[in-house]
Amino acid sequence: MSNDFRPNLNDIREAQRRIAPHTHRTPVLTSESLNEISGAKLFFKCENLQVTGSFKMRGATNAVFSLTQEEAARGVVTPSSGNHGAALARAARSRGIPAWVIMPNNSPMVKRAAVEAYGGKITLCEPTIKSRQDTAAAVQARTGAILIHPYDNDLIIAGQGTAAAELLDEVPDLDIFIAPVSGGGLLSGTSIASKGIRPQIRVIGAEPKNADDAFLSLKAGHIVTLEHYDTIADGLRAHLAPRTFAILSRLVDEVSTVTEAEIVAAMKLLWERMKIVVEPSGAVPAAPALNRRIHAVGKRVGIILSGGNVDLTSLPFSAA
């Protein structure tokens, strides 16, 4: 991979140094019972244990602490279904600046509460991409804040790539790396880090069948958008941006889609067998391996459990 491809592995290594004082180096866990189910050796990068409960803290911190003093003084604004908004609010608070977060009015209450707890100022909008964008633009015009897009941003992508870099630094001989895909920031960063460190690795995106725009986009060779995203994985309801589509088209080997029942079943297995809280979006990348969808038998597989922010009063396990 040429060094002029941006962001690149050097940007991810720089992001590692920048975010280290403000984020966790999350643990890598294994499970013999899940290895037996998958037929592979699985290494779970537990971003559900990250600050704010998701990998989003990595990109948000990298972006916020890359701002100049003049830019930072204006504050930051973003559209977010929850995890990025909470992470941006937390990173902004650490730098002592305001954060405005535009959230769909159907966002889980646990995610709204998290944004507010970290000092974010919430503006609700309709649960459509257009409404998110229009509302964010209006708030930005009113406040003068810097837009920190959840995934269409090189600094965000480089920050998200630090999770994969950490896992490969710890377990360097992986054959396959799986990350969830929504807007593509995490999968872009994962693919840049993975191919940069271990060029022969297979990088796989995992996506709900009910929100399979990335699968359709890479198959069609252009960005496909969906009108509705009817999935329990509320963090995976965005569509690709030209920036992330270009990266994924170049570096991702496959996108594997999973059903709603498979998402819930994977989430339940992770809770029961590994004793960790993982949200539906975070369980999505485990589902292809656990259902033997990706020809991983006998392989060493890295999986990013991307988040653990779930409403404990409304668990979906009865549907499994």
User: The whole model's pTM is what?
Assistant: 0.94
Same domain (yes/no): 99, 65: yes
Whether the per-residue pLDDT at 70 is higher than 50: the answer is yes
**Is 86 domain-assigned?**
yes
Q: What is the pLDDT of residue 237?
A: 83
Same domain (yes/no): 50, 66: no
**Is 288 domain-assigned?**
yes
* Tens digit of each residue's pLDDT (9 = 90 or more) over 235-272: 888 899 999 999 999 999 999 999 999 999 999 999 99
Residue 75 zone, left/alpha/beta (φ > 0; ψ -120 to 50; rest) = left
**Is 3 domain-assigned?**
no
Q: How far apart are CA 262 and CA 4, in angstroms?
A: 39
Percent of the chain with pLDDT over 90: 85
**Is 1 domain-assigned?**
no
Same domain (yes/no): 315, 214: yes
**Is 161 domain-assigned?**
yes
**Which CATH number covers residue 185?**
3.40.50.1100
**Is 27 domain-assigned?**
yes
Give the residue from 92, 126, 147 where a domain finishes.
147
Give the residue from 123, 147, 171 where a domain finishes.
147
Q: What is the pLDDT of residue 243?
A: 97
**Is 2 domain-assigned?**
no
Same domain (yes/no): 73, 210: no
Alpha-carbon distances of 137 from 127, 133, 242, 250, rounded to whole Å? 16, 6, 19, 31
Same domain (yes/no): 160, 293: yes
Same domain (yes/no): 30, 157: yes
Percent of the chain with pLDDT over 70: 98
Same domain (yes/no): 95, 32: no
Of the ranges 167-176, 222-231, 251-260, which one carries the lowest mean pLDDT score?
A: 222-231
Residue 96's pLDDT band (cuts 50, 70, 90) = very high
Alpha-carbon distances of 170 from 122, 174, 195, 258, 262, rounded to whole Å? 38, 10, 16, 28, 29
Neighbours of 93 (CB within 10 A): 16
Whether the per-residue pLDDT at 139 is higher than 50: the answer is yes
Q: How many domains does the chain have?
A: 2
Give the residue from 147, 175, 205 where a domain finishes.
147
Same domain (yes/no): 26, 98: no
**Is 195 domain-assigned?**
yes
Residue 317's pLDDT band (cuts 50, 70, 90) = confident
6 or 231, higher pLDDT: 231
Rg (CA), the chain: 18
Whether the per-residue pLDDT at 319 is higher than 90: the answer is no
Same domain (yes/no): 85, 31: no
Residue 5's pLDDT band (cuts 50, 70, 90) = low
* Tens digit of each residue's pLDDT (9 = 90 or more) over 173-214: 999 999 999 999 999 999 999 999 999 999 999 999 999 999
Please give the residue range of the domain that contains residue 200: 9-54+153-319
Q: Can you tell me which residue has the tokens 């460190």?
A: 197
* Tens digit of each residue's pLDDT (9 = 90 or more) over 144-165: 999 999 999 999 999 999 999 9
Cβ contact 47:41 at 8 Å: no
* Tens digit of each residue's pLDDT (9 = 90 or more) over 18-43: 999 999 999 999 999 999 999 999 99
Same domain (yes/no): 45, 117: no
Same domain (yes/no): 157, 264: yes
Q: What is the pLDDT of residue 3?
A: 46
Same domain (yes/no): 158, 117: no
Angle at 15 between CA 172 and CA 218, to 5 degrees: 70
Q: In a 3-state reduction of DSSP, which class is residue 114? A: helix
Alpha-carbon distances of 132 from 127, 150, 213, rounded to whole Å? 7, 12, 18
What is the DSSP track for 209-266? GGG-HHHHHHHHTS----S----S-GGG-----HHHHHHHHHH--EEEEE-HHHHHHH
